[in-house]
Amino acid sequence: MAKDWDKRMSLENVKVLLCDTFGTIVDWRGSVARMGERVAYEKGIEGVDWDAFARAWRAGYQPGMARVRSGERTWTGIDDIHRERLDEILSQFGIEDRFSEAEKVDMSLFWHRLDPWPDSVPGLLRLKRSFLISPLSNGSLILLSAMAKRAGIPWDFVFSSDIFKAFKPDPAVYLGAIELLGLEPAQVMMVAAHNDDLEAARSHGMRTAYINRPYEYGPDQTKDFDATSDWDVITDGIDGVADAMGV
């Protein structure tokens, strides 16, 4: 009780919630698989496991960002990384000659049309009443803005990797966000389904909220089945963050 009270009091300073997006706010695996199934149906393509396709596509995301993070490659946005990886997995799945260039461009925009988890929009609408809310995502500005418009995600503003020309967990992203806000780090809370994202945020003095999303990666999920540290908030949906923040 005393501990809960202390925590609530310290969270009273929070003014801004920054949310990881892929996996935390939106279900990329289910969304990409559904869009793939629809395209396959329209084109009469059979025998593709679109859930595996979505996971393979996503698996190219970390290595693609790592080359930029390490400086091996100059700044390259996530839309280009998605597009490059698409060519690889289309041939991996043996369907590269079933799509025109225009269709491939449209497929790479699947990532602009991801569906939120069911608790995300209701939870964010509650949080928006009392806090400034924004993504802090490795997505691009146009991806995050287009996704939000389609899905009704009510961001107050959008922090994207291309604003900071860096990908999380590069400190430039967290520190850049705090500096732009002109706030103390403890006035800013990172909301994420990934312990390593929260680890980085906490190392810079931010508050932390962990959302448990044990189905994000489906059969490929190897971690983030549970909180691995005493994050300020630990819950299983964005509505749970709203509960914890008392709004």
Given 40, 45, 142, 227, the residue binding its own copies (CB under 8 A): 142
Complex with its own copies: residue 36 or 123, whichever CB lies closer? 123
Is residue 105 within the footprint of its own copies (CB under 8 A)? no
Non-local (6+) Cβ contacts of 191 within 8 A are 17, 18, 19, 20, 24, 209, 211, 238, 241
C-alpha 213/C-alpha 225 separation (Å) is 7
Q: Give the residues across from 17 on adjacent strands.
A: 133, 189
Distance of CA 21 to the CA centre of its chain: 2
C-alpha 199/C-alpha 152 separation (Å) is 29
Nearest distance in Å: CB 221, its own copies = 31
Nearest distance in Å: CB 181, its own copies = 6
Q: Which of 117, 120, 109 is nearest to 154 (CA)?
A: 120
Given 59, 141, 186, 227, the residue binding its own copies (CB under 8 A): 141
Q: Map residues 1-40 to x or -, x wherever contact with its own copies holds by CB under 8 A.
A: ----------------------------------------
Nearest distance in Å: CB 158, its own copies = 4
Is residue 186 within the footprint of its own copies (CB under 8 A)? no
> Are 48 and 163 spatial neighbours (Cβ–Cβ below 8 Å)?
no
Complex with its own copies: residue 182 or 219, whichever CB lies closer? 182
Dihedral sign from CA coordinates of 92, 98, 104, 109: negative
Q: Map residues 72-101 to x or -, x wherever contact with its own copies holds by CB under 8 A.
A: -----x-x----------------------
Is residue 162 within the footprint of its own copies (CB under 8 A)? yes
DSSP 3-state of 221: coil
List interacting residues with its own copies (CB under 8 A): 77, 79, 128, 132, 140-142, 144-146, 148-149, 155-158, 160, 162-163, 180-183
